[in-house]
A and B are shown apart, each in its own frame.
Chain A
Amino acid sequence: MKLKLILFALVTLGLLSYGLYMALVVAPTEATMGDVQRIFYYHVPSAWTAFLCFLINALASIWYLVKRTERSDAIAVSSAEVGVVFCTIVLLTGPIWARPVWGIWWTWDARLTSTLVLWLIYVAYLMLRRFSASGRAPVIAAALAVFGFFDVPFVYLSIRIFRTQHPQPVIAGGEGSGLDPTMAKAFLWNMIAFTVYGLLVMWLRYRLELAERSVEEAHAEKSMQEGA
Chain B
Amino acid sequence: MKAPGLLAVTRATLAKDLRLEWRSKDAINSMLFFSLLVVVIFSFAFDPTAEVSRKIAGGLVWVAMLFATIMALNQTWARELRNNVMDAYRVSPAPPNAMFLAKTIGSFIFVTILELLMTPLFVMFYNLRSIGPVWQLVVIALLATWALVVNGTFFAVISIHTRSREIMLPLILFPISIPAILAMVSATTLVLTGEYSPLFWMQLLAVYDVVFTTVCLVLFEIVLNAE
A, B bound: yes
* B162 and A150 within 8 A (CB): no
* B168 and A151 within 8 A (CB): no
User: Shortest beta-carbon distance, A204 to chain B, in Å?
Assistant: 27
Given contacts A121-B176, A139-B226, contact A146 B219 (CB under 8 A): yes
**Chain B, 193-227, CB within 8 A of any chain A CB:** 196, 200-201, 204, 207-208, 211-212, 215, 219, 222-223, 226-227
Interface centre among A65, A131, A150, A158, by most chain B C-beta atoms within 10 angstroms, is A158
- Counting residue pairs across A and B whose Cβ atoms lie within 8 Å, the total is 83
Contacts of A133 in B (CB 8 A): 161-162
* B179 and A157 within 8 A (CB): yes
Q: Identify A158's interface contact among B164, B182, B227, CB under 8 A.
A: B182
* A120 and B158 within 8 A (CB): no
**Is B186 an interface position by the 8 A CB rule?**
yes
State in angstroms the CA–CA spacing of A144 and B216 once bound together. Answer: 10
Contact with A along B162-189 (1 / 0, CB 8 A): 1110001001101110111011001000
**Is B107 an interface position by the 8 A CB rule?**
no
Contacts of A144 in B (CB 8 A): 158, 172
Total interface residues in chain B, CB < 8 Å: 33
Contacts of A148 in B (CB 8 A): 176
User: Shortest beta-carbon distance, A140 to chain B, in Å?
Assistant: 5
The bracket for how many chain A residues form the interface is 20 to 34
* B162 and A132 within 8 A (CB): yes
* A146 and B204 within 8 A (CB): no
* A143 and B172 within 8 A (CB): no
State in angstroms the CA–CA spacing of A165 and B195 once bound together. Answer: 11
* A158 and B183 within 8 A (CB): yes
Q: Identify B212's interface contact among A125, A127, A147, CB under 8 A.
A: A147
State in angstroms the CA–CA spacing of A175 and B219 once bound together. Answer: 41
* B179 and A158 within 8 A (CB): yes
Given contacts A150-B211, A158-B179, A159-B182, contact A128 B204 (CB under 8 A): no
**Is A67 an interface position by the 8 A CB rule?**
no
**Chain B, 120-161, CB within 8 A of any chain A CB:** 151, 158-159, 161
User: Shortest beta-carbon distance, B144 to chain A, in Å?
Assistant: 13
**Chain A, 8-60, CB within 8 A of any chain B CB:** none
Q: Identify A127's interface contact among B171, B174, B223, CB under 8 A.
A: B171
With both beta carbons as reference points, the residue of chain B lying nearest to A118 in the complex is identified as B175
* A146 and B200 within 8 A (CB): no
Contacts of B151 in A (CB 8 A): 147
Listed A/B pairs (15) with beta-carbon separation below 8 Å: A120-B175, A120-B178, A125-B172, A128-B159, A131-B168, A135-B226, A140-B158, A147-B176, A147-B212, A150-B215, A151-B179, A155-B179, A158-B178, A159-B179, A165-B186
